[in-house]
Amino acid sequence: MKEIYRLLARYAKIIALMISAFLVIYTLVFPKTVAKLCMRTSKKIGFSLKDVIVDGRSRTTTSEICAALGARIDDPILSIDIEKAKNNLQQLPWISSASIERWLPRSLYIRISERIPMAVWQVNGKFFLIDRSGTTIKCDENEFPQDMITIVGEQANSNFQGLLQTISKFQRKIPKVVAAVFLRNHRWNLHLENGIVVKLPETDTEEALNILCTAFESLSNKNIPLSGVASIDLRFAGSIVIEPKGQPLKQSDEKAKAE
């Protein structure tokens, strides 16, 4: 009997090695079949998608998110390609970043960050919604928020972030900027809500806007109405030229009004 047990033990090891080798070869030759079998098995023991939890969604629709996931309720949760689904989500127009986690055995947790529209960019007769970084947001014009600043010109979007940071420091000191035109010599013309055009220099825009604030305060103290001003030229360092509507002022009068 002992001899028989020894033989069985010896052959059992050989049989186990043969079965293991067969499974390895089968997996290598038929990986999709093995994967499907594993997914079916995982689903039977409860690892199937039942809940999708989304955090951070405002403008992106639920149907867009579901389509990007490429998965349905009751699909094996382990079969979902997380990286592919994440990339699909980040291709959606309003989404700037996304992360996905499996909450086993039955849930997906999705956290998204959506783009915040900051301006309407007009170029070549077309209009685009852009975020703070100047990235365009693909959407219909009827989805554009109201009261957005309009920026105009080629490369205006790529230079918008710097302008936004600058004018945000003066938003309580000067009338609202409703439009900004980016010119080929790499400077901006600001259009204020009161109709005045402010011509900024290429550099030192903060210093120029400080001069503008001083000029507005001076005009107010002298009871000079802004309604009569057409434009304010700040292109030259340390100086300001105020042009009234109609005929331009003489140089002496311009300096007087700016003091």
Asked whether residue 35 falls in the same domain as residue 79, the answer is no
* Alpha carbon 63 to its chain's center: 20
Number of structural domains (the chain) is: 3
pTM for this prediction: 0.72
Q: Which of 114, 129, 164 is the last residue of a domain?
A: 114
Q: Residues 160, 134: contact at Cβ < 8 Å?
A: yes
Asked whether residue 129 falls in the same domain as residue 226, the answer is yes
In which order are the strands placed within the sheet that holds 107-114? 51-55, 107-114, 95-103
Asked whether residue 35 falls in the same domain as residue 135, the answer is no
DSSP string, 33-76: HHHHHHHHHHHHTT-B--EEEEES-SSS-HHHHHHHHT--TTSB
Sole residue written with tokens 């002496």: 252
Asked whether residue 221 falls in the same domain as residue 160, the answer is yes
Range of the domain at 18: 1-45
- Residue 111 burial (C-beta neighbours within 10 Å; 0-12, 13-18, 19+): middle
Q: Domain with 155 in it: what CATH number?
A: 3.40.50.11690
Asked whether residue 139 falls in the same domain as residue 92, the answer is no
Q: What is the tens place of the pLDDT at every residue in 13-58?
A: 555 555 454 444 544 554 555 455 555 565 566 678 889 999 999 9
Distance CA 56, CA 36 (A): 33
Q: What is the tens place of the pLDDT at every residue in 181-227?
A: 999 879 999 999 999 999 999 999 999 999 999 999 888 888 878 88
Asked whether residue 35 falls in the same domain as residue 55, the answer is no
Q: What is the tens place of the pLDDT at every residue in 54-107?
A: 999 999 999 999 999 998 888 888 888 999 999 999 999 999 999 999 998 889
Distance CA 192, CA 175 (A): 6
